[in-house]
Chains A and B, each alone.
Chain A
Amino acid sequence: MKPFAYARPADVAEAVRDVAAEPNAVFLAGGTNLVDHLKLGVARPDLVVDVRTLTSADVSDLPDGGLRLGAASTNSEVAADRRVRERYPVLAQALLAGATGQLRNTATTGGNPLQRTRCVYFADVTTPCNKREPGSGCSAVGGYTRYHAVLGTTAALPDPTAPETCIATHPSDMAVALAALDAQVQVLGPAGERTIPFTELHRLPGDDPSRDTVLEHGELITAIDLPPLPAGTRSAYRKVRDRASYAYALVSVAAVLPPGGDVRIALGSVAHRPWRATRAEELLRGAELTDHSVRAAMDAELAGAQPQPGLGGGNGFKIPLVNRTVVATLRALTSEASA
């Protein structure tokens, strides 16, 4: 582990100033991901600024009927909150589908969406990775792609030597639910406060795969707001994985279905960011949700999907799998609604 300085500022303003002033500084909250990366040499900061106790750890009611999740609230606390369980079951289910009890007791609302990809090459400093070491290339292309993207990638087989190539996925379950809920991210930065729609927090790799989000250096998530949902809204999170617990999603689906309203669908583990299935949502607007209509809408959503070849057959199975998982999730939601 590379030696680093550790700071525990008095408040968030000071924390933001500390990080902004040091180009190679990072915030530390729950540390469930960062500490691993410090040990592995994936993260090599000069300064670690501990914000664990500086933001609110509360889940509080908003005047508009929504909920505010303080950045320091833990995944366990949010998942157990009665308001969350009753009004936003998709979020409670997503949180409980992630990691383990021990990790959820430590991981925070602010930190969870900022965890890094689980691409095995990102985590191994002996292999090239554009996300970890910009310009070094992408080892995942043609390699172990089981957990990698099929959406938002540039080509069927991107050039592994190109500096922009990255087929990593975002690993957070919570983020997929927040994308489907149209959550809002409250941010404090050197230039003051701003609000970012959750669906715009994460990026596609574009020309800089090293950046996961649109946050600027020194910007800190202070809270995440859940907008109110019409009474009777149903929602669910379905995670498909290789073992029953403690595994990242092969694909996941967050669905929100307001009564008589239009379904919202977010997909996990298929792209560099939580993927709002806007094309499918559009096609299903006003339509009856049947296996057939959902399948057709998802076919359209996935028309541009790029299966990645690779060791053990690659990840082409994700395309039918995510389609079938959306169909099954909406089937369960609609039958629950009619029951």
Chain B
Amino acid sequence: MTDLLTPRAIGQSLVRRDGVDKVRGTATYAFETDVEHPAYCHPVQATIALGRVTAMDTAAAEALDGVLAVLTPFNAERLASTEDAEYAVLQSTEVAFRGQLIGLVVAETSELAREVADGITVTYAEQPHDSELRTDHPGLYAPEQVNAGHPTDTAEGDVDAAMAAAEVTVDHTYETQMLHNNPIEPHATTALWEDGSLTLWDSTQGVHPDRAAVCEVFGLDEERVRVVCPYVGGGFGSKGNPHANVMLVTMAARALPGRPVKLALTRQQMFFLTGYRTPTIQRMQLGADRRGRLSAIAIDVVEQTSKIKEFAEQTGVPARMMYASPNRRTTHRLAPLDVPIPSWMRAPGECPGMFGPEVAMDELAEALGMDPVQLRIANEPDVDPDTGKPWSSRHLVECLREGAQRFGWDSRGPGRRREGDWLVGHGMASSVYPTMRQATSTASIRFSGGRYVAEIGAADLGTGAWTVLPQIAADALGVDVADVDVAIGDTRYPTASVAGGSSGTNTWGSAIVQAAREFRGKYGTDPQDGDEASGDVDQAAMDDAHAAYAFGAQFAEARVNADTGEIRVPRLIGVFAAGRIINPRTARSQLIGGMTMGLSMALHEDSVFDTRIGQVANHDLADYHITVNADVGEIEAHWLDEHDPYVNVMGAKGIGEIGITGTAAAVVNAVHHATGVRVRSLPVTLDKVLAGLD
């Protein structure tokens, strides 16, 4: 148990410190870095899904005026490490997926680089590929573990026997679609190799992890590499670790010493190269008695990975801890395919993993004739069913009740309500996200010119780190927040962990508090100019005795046009219990942002994979639909005043990801309530409900 910081600056709804610069367009993003006389890169991508490059005709390209370099597998430098197949760019002629990087043109202008890259003739020896996810895939295997170190399978009791004995059962298969992160700022880098040192101005969720990966691949000393990233135009996980483009632009910089080079992937290229959320197929089984007490919960997940680099989304993990049941089973199986490499996307695991289970709960409530809110309350576990540990705090029931009250859930009838041309329905689902803290981060605090400066290599993805870290520092130092500056986004500052797993504020904030305590311990309350102290995340003080999660409940109103099946969601309300909220303004933005992204997953986003050729067919933003303003009506995020003394000294749980969990299920459940049509595969589009309309 920790004595939490007394909140003074914490809890204030301060405006974003970087807001004005961003609105004015003066905040400098990676590609815009002002360097002298830059050269521009454009990649060459494989147009087969499996095989080998046998030849690349680059002679004409290399002879062109303005072309500075043409890199291919036949002439590229040999990397120090090729252990990570994603990063082993241009190291072999093998092609493992369509769109893989097989070359790069560097030229005086971006237009020329693109034209030359597109004009290079490539000859292939093509092999038949396999890019279709299916539950009967012969290569399905159980990975050693799934992401975040979770066991692949878990089992307790006897699910089959419990299902056979249960008074009411649900046994259905649910599917979540392939999704691409699509931050508005593409993956972009400005790179300079000079005098044996490398500088990368890179759009990344972590300058230090980014540097570590590049140093490993190129065999460089970290002292000689600097990564700078003050601002990120969104990442949603896709900038959580570098992708192959960072290695490619580094290679270009090394080929042209002294000349800055720039590479920004196009939107289309991002659909091949920067990760995506694997599609999942979830067989869900629930067994219950007539009162709605669960006797069995099982989820068997089939999802995909690329053959060359394993990525095992932890989809089944939330079903392990969400509700109480004596008999439980979770499994994960991966289909290894000739496809681009899946990666992190907002709430990996929990986001897809709260779809099948939360729709299945709705189906169970329907079968029982029970209110879906009451069904969840009836299965509230006293301790974490997965580990047996007590909760650090768990206020799901309170979120459900407050959400129901705010939404007007009690007015919900049996369904099939019609208003004019629209069928109206209400649906809900629970939300959850684990509370995490990374093992390493260091912050320093310096007193300079009468102000305190906290330095840490943290990243602000647009989430608000520039604004909330000073609030934490101010309360830790016991000073006014206006007297605190932070410096982030540069490897010149102390090591910081990645902005991922909703752990950024928890981790960096813990380091800042530690540094502040060191500072006060050393210098007291009347420091001299230049006094400085640093502190690390205190792992020893990390609570391991409790299961720590943020919880929430989301309520959606769906309207389905009785003629056309068009689906609109005019109302979405979320109530969350996520520990102490550092800054209500930026927190609300995170929560409604997550909910909007969940709505987008529910209704719109869909990477339609063309298995004939091994690529996403709709690989641009005209065809890959992301929810727009016109699709969002009233959207509200509320939170409970939750006190959790176990998670960290701020009492904060992390809010970047929970908003997206459960949303899609709430929407699907509302569409069912409106129409009687149960859609079990995402997204819910009008063609899936049309046949069920009168």
Contact = CB atoms under 8 A, between A and B. Distances in A.
Contacts of B268: 124
A328 B421 contact: yes
A301 to B, nearest CB: 17
Contacts of B47: 126
A243 B631 contact: yes
A6 interface: no
A317 B688 CA distance: 9
Interface string B672-689: 000000000000011100
Interface in A69-123: 118, 120-121, 123
A321 B690 contact: yes
A128 to B, nearest CB: 10
Contact of B630 (A142, A244, A324): A244
Contact of B114 (A1, A242, A328): A1
B630 A243 contact: yes
B617 A242 contact: no
Interface string B466-510: 000000000000000000000000000000000000000000000
B623 interface: yes
A3 B116 CA distance: 11
B564 A321 contact: yes
A327 interface: yes
Interface stretch (A203-211, A245-253, A259-267, A282-290): A245-253
B690 A317 contact: yes
Given A1-B114, A143-B617, A327 B628 contact: no
Nearest to A332: B421
Given A317-B687, A328-B564, A246 B623 contact: no
Interface residues of A, number: 38
A2 interface: yes
Contacts of A248: 622
A118 B608 CA distance: 15
B630 A245 contact: yes
A237 B243 CA distance: 45
B686 A243 contact: no
A143 B619 CA distance: 14
A321 B686 contact: yes
Nearest to B603: A243
A325 B693 CA distance: 13
Nearest to B111: A1
A187 to B, nearest CB: 29
Given A41-B118, A311-B617, A242 B608 contact: no
A65 interface: no
A313 interface: yes
Nearest to B620: A123
A119 B622 CA distance: 11
A124 B617 CA distance: 9
Interface string A306-339: 0000011100010011001101100000000000
B102 to A, nearest CB: 13
Given A118-B622, A123-B620, A243 B629 contact: no
A198 interface: no
A118 B623 contact: yes
Contacts of A317: 686-687, 690-691
Given A242-B625, A243-B625, A244-B631, A143 B685 contact: no
Nearest to B46: A126
A123 B612 CA distance: 17
B563 interface: yes
B560 to A, nearest CB: 13
A27 interface: no
B33 interface: no
Interface in B609-628: 609-613, 617-620, 622-623, 625, 627-628
Nearest to A320: B690
B618 A2 contact: no
Interface string B404-442: 000000000000000001000000000000000000000
Contacts of B656: none
A319 to B, nearest CB: 10
A240 B686 contact: yes
A136 interface: no
Given A240-B564, A324-B690, 20 more contacts: A1-B115, A118-B623, A120-B618, A124-B268, A143-B610, A240-B566, A240-B686, A242-B686, A243-B603, A244-B628, A244-B631, A245-B629, A245-B630, A246-B630, A250-B686, A311-B610, A311-B617, A312-B606, A317-B686, A320-B691
25 contacts: A1-B114, A118-B623, A125-B118, A142-B612, A240-B564, A240-B566, A242-B604, A243-B603, A243-B604, A243-B630, A246-B628, A246-B630, A250-B686, A311-B617, A313-B687, A317-B686, A320-B691, A321-B564, A321-B565, A321-B686, A321-B687, A321-B690, A324-B563, A325-B564, A328-B563
8 closest residue pairs by CB, A with B: A317-B687, A144-B617, A244-B630, A328-B563, A245-B630, A126-B47, A244-B631, A240-B564
